[in-house]
């Protein structure tokens, strides 16, 4: 640590190393973002026309029961005070108790988030593994049949309602062909068979060495993950194609070709290398969207994920659950942003 | 590029091969019952607090009560359960129950009269939403230990006045009448909550099933209680899976991955009914769909206008179209299958008759607002009524809103007309008579928001006294006649236009026998089911 003298006034100033400043700035930015997110969500929750008291006591409750719960929830206090209490609890890692199922919100989120994480990760994996090569090939063979196929796939992916496609997929691959498992994370024979270590059933089954459960869980996840993967693929392949076309028309590519470099090297060692940073942004955004939870996919496939959890909570005025879920989703976006920034610095020296 | 083509082909083949190597399960095991159901309304499974449909289903199978209803013979009414017998004192205020010997809780603790007294006292003292089912007999937190007491294997409950014994016992068959294991519950008490927090997510019963787990919005699993005094159930394991989407429920049923699908929409019911190995079972439920006319409105309070509205409902048209299979015509406040229920449905769709009645009342250019909660079937009923009313010269403005918006105005007596649904709280006719036809104080200051008659500012005339008389009548036949008389008068004089009664259609695999959703009077039972 370097000390500098402020000789005239006799006061010392501490010059912090850059990494500490960066970290402090990042943490400060996270804190302000989270506070703003919580505040907006909290206010929306309070002004929306759903009565949290009625949601708990029901239509039949007497006025005295209603009033008792109203006071119990602290709804008689000013909004700012209510928000202050909430922030205080969050700082103590207490998201409160779900108004509707009486469980700690943190427990609920620990249960539903791994389901979404597992689905989203497999979905984005499919999206990347197929979408990126498809986009590159489509750009390299612009106007060819594979380019046309990629464009049609992307167009269908953009325009097809996920609800309809999900139901059709379920009807064909589960209902008619019986190739995959039905709605839910596992079949009835395998419910709670392997101990929950990570909450990710595929991982837990592998850790337990129970390959029957693994196969069953895989047969249940493959269809919704493919569905989500397809929608990610449509976006990723289209963006990859667009980025690649821009690079392939650049002068340095012409130079590389003139120098006799192979087409493989031109595309992968030059053009693709230069779109990695842009692709990271696209993939990170796609992944973040999937991690928010795809409500419709979760409904069709009875997938107990965070999307349907937050939606149900919102419609039921369970604001503790909504705020808890919002914190998690907000954190996901922030962490993915930070991760993207780190990758930028690795792939692009100019970003350092 | 060839490499990429190979890579894509490889991925496609890999996915196809891995996917095709799995085959779906064709049938659930013979000793297991799997149900697809919407269970997102379960907020607690503490019987002193639980008041939702899916929660009541759980409670009914986990807890025994002093008296209960036989799912295979619901019409017979209450029967002995944990109470082997009972006697009523001469003044009719004290009922003494003799407890069944040799029954144990799932914990292994014996079921005693002390447990029964604790359970009822606890429900009264906690005073959660369904507590009124017990406190209407005069039990309070202050007097609970004197009015509900145990002595040896006897349990005595003393009400504030004489009531029909059938009324008291019917109320004890409700979820709040469940008997909990005092020792287990109090071992989990926190800050004097009588185990409320713990029982919200755990169980301490003696019923035919033990709760293995409840994952909100995901599943409920139960296993049979081998020591159940009534004999271990045939279905050793019951799994209720939360499946929100009707089409998904139907697919699961038709593939044989579930035995029962409980929330199919009319289109999926029609489709499932044609599938091999599936049958459709209908049961009348307690929910009634009704219109209510606020009697503070000068025109709506005229008897002829009240009658006219009853002729402005296209009962058959709605039943046979968008309500097909889901509702049947019913024009009385007691749902069919209830003690004292009436099958009289005198009103039909008759615009001319309505016009005559309106003319007789001297009503012209009437304009009213009707409040409807945002549910598709209710909005469609509202629109049908709007069309019919327009033909009779009444302008109806439909206000659609959330429960908070509409109910708040209804409870504050501000709506002209309310279109809504009502379901009974316990299997006794008093449950609906005491809200539709009972209103001892019609003043605004009374704030009797729980009474539908009060919400509509309706002074019921002599009906309040007749309801009070029926609730203390001990002769069953006489009581039935009293409720039929009350309903006959109610049909003609009340500002309520009762239209439909709900039907629950379950799609069931055809090897499942004795399935019961509990009809209008109670909840679903699993222990009598066989395959």
For residues B199 and A162, the model is more confident at B199
β-pairing verdict for B237-242 and B32-37: parallel
The angle at the Cα of B108, spanning B106 to B113, to the nearest 5 degrees, equals 90
Instruction: Assess A230–B contact: CB distance below 8 Å, yes or no.
Output: no
3-state secondary structure of B322: coil
Q: How far apart are CA B101 and CA B104, in angstroms?
A: 9
Cα–Cα distance for residue pair B273/A58, rounded to 1 Å: 35
Closest chain A C-alpha to B455 CA, distance in angstroms = 12
Helix (H) or strand (E) holding B97: strand B94-99
Residue B11 has pLDDT above 50, yes or no: no
Residue B282 to residue B47: CA distance in whole angstroms: 27
Nearest Cα of chain B lies from the Cα of A102 at a distance, in angstroms, of 7
| pLDDT value of position A2 | 39
State yes or no: pLDDT of B470 exceeds 60.
Answer: yes
Proportion of chain A above pLDDT 90, given as a percent:
29
**CA distance linking residue B510 with residue B197, whole number of Å:** 40
Q: B81 is written with which tokens?
A: 């359960």
- Calculate mean pLDDT across residues A155-168: 86
DSSP-based three-state secondary structure for B428: coil
Confidence of residue A59 (pLDDT cuts 50, 70, 90): low
* A103 shares contact with chain B (CB less than 8 Å): yes
Q: Is A273 on the interface with B (CB under 8 A)?
A: no
pLDDT single digits (tens) B441-451? 999 999 888 89
Mutation site for B-interface testing, chosen from A188, A195, A314 by largest number of B Cβ within 10 Å: A188
| Closest approach of A35 to chain B, Cα-based (Å) | 28
- pLDDT of B20 strictly over 60: no
Better pLDDT: B430 or A150:
B430
Chain B CA closest to residue A101: B43
Alpha-carbon gap, residue B123 to B231, rounded angstroms: 28
pLDDT value for A314: 79
ipTM value: 0.75
Among partner residues A57, A133, A304, which is closest to B129 by beta-carbon distance? A57
The first and second tokens of residue B61, run together, are: 């199978």
- Answer whether A327's CB lies under 8 Å from A42's CB: no
Selecting from A60, A133, A178 the residue whose C-beta is nearest the C-beta of B129 gives: A60
Contacts of A187 (CB under 8 A, 6+ apart): A181, A216, A220, B25, B257
Chain A residue numbers touching B202 (CB-CB < 8 A): none
The lowest-confidence range among A24-28, B240-244, B455-459 is: A24-28
Shortest Cα distance, chain B CAs vs residue A225, angstroms: 12
Measured in residues, chain B has a length of 531
Q: Reply yes or no on whether the pLDDT at B404 is more than 80.
A: no
Asked if B414 and B279 touch (Cβ cutoff 8 Å), the reply is no
Cα-based angle A328, A332, A336 (whole degrees, multiple of 5)? 170
Give the C-alpha separation, B420 to B289, whole Å: 6
Look at residues A225, A141, A240 and name the one whose alpha carbon lies nearest to residue B5. A141
Burial A97-124 (b: 16+ CB within 10 A, else e): bbbbbbbebbebbebbbbbbbbbbbbbb
Q: What percent of chain A has pLDDT over 70?
A: 92
* B211-270 confidence digits (pLDDT tens): 999 988 889 999 999 999 999 999 999 999 999 889 999 999 999 999 999 999 888 999
A153: which chain B residues are within 8 Å (Cβ-Cβ)? none
Q: Number of Cβ pairs closer than 8 Å across A and B?
A: 162
pTM for the complete prediction? 0.82
Share of chain B above pLDDT 70, in %: 95
* CA distance, residue A237 to nearest chain B CA (Å): 13
B468 phi, psi to nearest 5 deg: -65, -35
The helix/strand/coil state of B331 is: coil
Rg (CA), chain A: 25
CA A35 to chain centre: 20
CB-based contacts of B16: which residues, under 8 Å, 6+ apart? none
Number of residues written out for chain A: 352
Cβ <8 Å between B22 and A51:
no
Q: For residue B436, is pLDDT > 50?
A: yes
Closest by CA to B524, choosing from B57, B39, B55, B113, is: B57
Between CA A164 and CA A12 the distance in angstroms is: 67
- SS3 string, A182-229, reads CCCCCCHHHCCCCCCCCCCHHHHHHHHCCHHHHHHHHHHHHHHHHHHH
Instruction: Locate the chain B residue with the closest alpha carbon to A163.
Output: B245
Q: Name the DSSP letter for residue A328.
A: H
Chain B, nearest residue to A56 by Cα: B43
Plot region of B277 (φ>0 → left; ψ -120 to 50 → alpha; else → beta): left
> What pLDDT is recorded for position B163?
94
Chain-chain contact of A312 with B217 (C-beta, under 8 angstroms): yes
**Residue B1's Cα: distance from chain center in Å?**
65
pLDDT in tens, B107-156: 999 999 999 999 999 999 998 888 999 999 999 999 999 999 999 999 99
Q: What is the mean pLDDT of residues B190-219?
A: 92
Within B209-265, residue ranges assigned H as helices are 246-254
Rounded to 5 degrees, φ, ψ at B420 are: -160, -170
How confident is the model over A307-324, as a mean pLDDT? Answer: 83
A105-351, CATH topology level: MetI-like fold (1.10.3720)
What's the pLDDT tens digit per position in B357-387? 999 999 989 999 999 988 888 999 999 999 9
The 3-state DSSP class for residue B373 equals strand
**What confidence score (pLDDT) does residue B349 get?**
97
Which residue in chain A has the smallest CA separation from B216?
A: A101
pLDDT digits (tens, 9 = 90+) for B161-190: 999 999 999 999 999 999 999 999 999 999
| B296-308 per-residue burial string, b: 16 or more CB within 10 A, e: under 16 | ebebbbbebbbbb
Residue-level pLDDT at A221: 95
Beta-ladder partners of B458: none
DSSP class of B175: G
Q: Check CB contact under 8 Å for A54 and B407.
A: yes
**Max mean pLDDT range (A128-132, A318-322, A326-330):** A128-132
Asked if residue B17 has pLDDT above 90, the reply is no
pLDDT at A326: 84
Which has the higher per-residue pLDDT, B411 or B105? B105
Angle at B263 between CA B259 and CA B268, to 5 degrees: 85
Question: Is the CB of residue B405 less than 8 Å from the CB of residue B350?
Answer: no
Tokens for B88, please give them. Answer: 């009523």
End-to-end CA distance of chain B: 58
Judge: A50–B403 Cβ closer than 8 Å, yes or no.
yes
A188 Cβ under 8 Å from any chain B Cβ: yes
Roughly what angle, to the nearest 10 degrees, separates helices A272-291 and A211-248? 140
Token digits of residue A116: 């979404």
Per-residue CA distances from B251 to A296, B243, B509 (Å): 17, 11, 12
Burial of B26 (0-12, 13-18, 19+ CB in 10 A): exposed
Q: How far apart are CA B496 and CA B452, in angstroms?
A: 9
Would you state the structure tokens that stand for residue B496, as one six-digit string? 């309520």
- Closest listed residue to residue A52, CA positions, set A325, A323, A314: A314
Residue A64 has pLDDT above 80, yes or no: no
Tell me the pLDDT tens digit for each residue of A196-253: 899 999 999 999 999 999 999 999 999 999 999 999 999 999 999 999 999 998 899 8
Return the closest-CA partner of residue B196 out of A72, A225, A207.
Answer: A72
Interface test with B, best of A195, A220, A240, A302 (most B CBs within 10 A): A302
When the pLDDT of each residue in chain B is averaged and rounded to a whole number, the result is 91
Find the mean pLDDT for residues A135-145. Answer: 91
Residue A15 has pLDDT above 80, yes or no: no
Residues of A in contact with B19 (CB under 8 A): 173, 179-180, 219, 222
Quote the CA–CA distance of A67 and B291 in Å, as a whole number.
Answer: 28
Q: Which residues contact residue B509 at a Cβ distance below 8 angstroms, ignoring those fewer than 6 apart?
A: B253, B256, B259, B260, B277, B278, B279, B531
Identify the pLDDT of residue A322: 86
For B37-79, the pLDDT digits (tens) are 998 878 889 999 988 888 899 999 999 999 999 999 998 889 9
Token pair for residue B322?
């968008």
Q: How far B450 CA sits from the closest chain A CA (Å)?
A: 6
Residues contacting residue B25 through CB under 8 Å, at least 6 positions apart = A187, A188, A189, B255, B256, B257
Whole-angstrom distance, CA of residue B160 vs CA of residue B136: 9
- Measured between alpha carbons, how far is B353 from B371 in angstroms, rounded to an integer? 25
User: Using 50, 70 and 90 to split pLDDT, how confident is the model at B12?
Assistant: very low
CB burial of residue A335 (10 Å; 0-12, 13-18, 19+): middle
| Contact with chain B for residue A187, Cβ under 8 A | yes
A191 touches chain B (CB under 8 A): yes
Write b or e for each residue in B347-382: b if 16 or more Cβ atoms lie within 10 A of its Cβ, otherwise e: bebbbebbbbbbeebebeebebbbbbbeeebbeebb
Nearest to B300 by CA among B259, B338, B256, B357: B357
pLDDT band with cut points at 50, 70 and 90 for residue A49? low
């Amino acid at each position: 640590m370097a000390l500098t003298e402020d000789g005239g006034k006799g006061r010392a100033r501490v010059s912090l190393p850059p990494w500490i400043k960066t970290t402090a700035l990042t943490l400060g930015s996270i804190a302000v973002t989270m506070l703003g997110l919580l505040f907006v969500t909290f206010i929306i929750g309070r002004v929306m026309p759903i009565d949290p008291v009625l949601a708990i006591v029901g239509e039949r409750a007497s006025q005295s029961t209603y009033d008792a719960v109203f006071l119990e929830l602290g709804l008689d206090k000013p909004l700012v005070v209510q928000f202050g209490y909430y922030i205080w609890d969050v700082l103590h890692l207490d998201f409160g108790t779900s108004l509707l199922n009486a469980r700690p919100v943190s427990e609920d989120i620990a249960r539903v988030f791994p389901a979404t994480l597992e689905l989203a990760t497999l979905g984005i994996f499919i999206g990347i593994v197929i979408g990126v090569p498809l986009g590159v090939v489509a750009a390299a063979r612009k106007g060819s049949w594979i380019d046309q196929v990629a464009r049609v796939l992307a167009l269908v992916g953009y325009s097809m309602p996920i609800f309809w496609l999900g139901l059709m997929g379920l009807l064909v691959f589960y209902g008619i062909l019986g190739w995959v498992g039905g709605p839910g994370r596992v079949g009835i024979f395998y419910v709670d068979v392997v101990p929950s270590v990570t909450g990710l059933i595929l991982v837990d089954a592998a850790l337990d060495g129970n390959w029957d459960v693994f196969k069953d869980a895989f047969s249940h996840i493959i269809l919704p993950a493919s569905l989500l993967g397809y929608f990610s693929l449509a976006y990723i392949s289209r963006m990859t194609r667009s980025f690649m076309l821009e690079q392939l028309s650049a002068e340095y590519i012409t130079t590389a070709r003139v120098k006799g470099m192979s087409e493989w090297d031109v595309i992968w060692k030059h053009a693709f290398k230069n779109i990695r940073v842009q692709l990271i942004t696209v993939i990170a955004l796609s992944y973040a969207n999937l991690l928010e939870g795809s409500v419709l996919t979760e409904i069709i496939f009875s997938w107990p994920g965070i999307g349907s959890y937050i939606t149900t909570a919102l419609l039921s005025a369970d604001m503790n659950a909504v705020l808890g879920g919002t914190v998690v989703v907000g954190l996901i976006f922030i962490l993915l942003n930070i991760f993207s920034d780190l990758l930028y610095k690795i792939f692009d020296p100019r970003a350092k | 590029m060839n490499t990429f083509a190979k890579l894509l082909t490889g991925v496609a083949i890999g996915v196809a091969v891995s996917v095709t190597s799995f085959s779906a399960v064709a049938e659930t095991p013979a000793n297991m019952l799997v149900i697809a159901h919407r269970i997102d309304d379960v907020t607690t499974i503490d019987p002193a607090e639980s008041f939702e449909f899916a929660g009541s289903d759980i409670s009914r199978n986990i807890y025994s009560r002093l008296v209960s209803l036989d799912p295979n013979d619901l019409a017979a009414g209450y029967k002995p359960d944990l109470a082997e017998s009972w006697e009523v004192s001469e003044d009719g205020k004290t009922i003494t129950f003799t407890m069944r010997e040799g029954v144990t809780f799932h914990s292994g603790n014996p079921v005693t009269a002390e447990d029964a007294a604790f359970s009822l006292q606890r429900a009264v003292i906690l005073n959660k939403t369904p507590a009124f089912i017990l406190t209407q007999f005069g039990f309070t937190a202050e007097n609970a230990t004197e009015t509900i007491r145990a002595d040896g294997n006897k349990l005595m409950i003393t009400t504030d006045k004489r009531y029909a014994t059938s009324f008291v016992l019917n109320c004890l068959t409700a979820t709040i009448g469940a008997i909990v294991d005092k020792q287990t519950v109090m071992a989990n008490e926190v800050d004097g909550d009588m185990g409320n927090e713990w029982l919200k997510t755990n169980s301490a019963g003696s019923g035919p099933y033990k709760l293995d787990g409840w994952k909100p919005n995901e599943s409920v699993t139960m296993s049979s209680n081998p020591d159940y005094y009534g004999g271990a159930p045939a279905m050793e394991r019951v799994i209720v899976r939360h499946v929100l989407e009707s089409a998904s429920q139907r697919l699961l049923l038709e593939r044989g991955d579930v035995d029962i699908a409980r929330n199919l929409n009319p289109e999926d019911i029609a489709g499932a009914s044609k599938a091999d190995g599936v049958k459709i079972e209908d049961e009348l439920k307690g929910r009634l769909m009704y219109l209510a006319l606020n009697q503070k409105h000068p025109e709506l309070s005229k008897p002829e206008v009240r009658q006219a509205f009853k002729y402005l409902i296209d009962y058959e048209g709605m039943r046979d179209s968008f309500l097909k299979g889901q509702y049947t015509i019913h024009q009385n406040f007691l749902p069919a299958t209830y003690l004292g229920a009436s099958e009289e449905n005198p009103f039909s769709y008759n615009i001319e008759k309505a016009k005559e009645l309106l003319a007789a009342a001297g009503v012209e250019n009437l304009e009213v607002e009707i409040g409807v909660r945002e549910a598709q079937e209710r909005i469609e009923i509202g629109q049908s009524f709007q069309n019919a009313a327009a033909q009779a010269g009444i302008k109806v403005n439909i206000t659609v809103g959330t429960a908070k918006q509409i109910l708040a105005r209804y409870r504050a007596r501000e709506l002209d007309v309310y279109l809504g649904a009502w379901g009974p709280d316990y299997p006794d006719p008093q449950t609906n008579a005491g809200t539709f036809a009972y209103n001892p104080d019609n003043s605004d200051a009374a704030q009797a928001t729980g009474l539908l008659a009060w919400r509509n500012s309706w002074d019921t005339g002599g009906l309040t006294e007749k309801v009070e008389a029926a609730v203390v009548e001990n002769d069953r036949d006489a009581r039935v006649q009293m409720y039929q008389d009350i309903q006959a008068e109610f049909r003609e004089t009340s500002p309520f236009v009762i239209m439909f009664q709900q039907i629950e259609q379950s799609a069931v695999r055809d090897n499942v026998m004795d399935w019961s959703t509990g009809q209008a009077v109670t909840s679903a039972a699993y222990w009598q089911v066989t395959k």
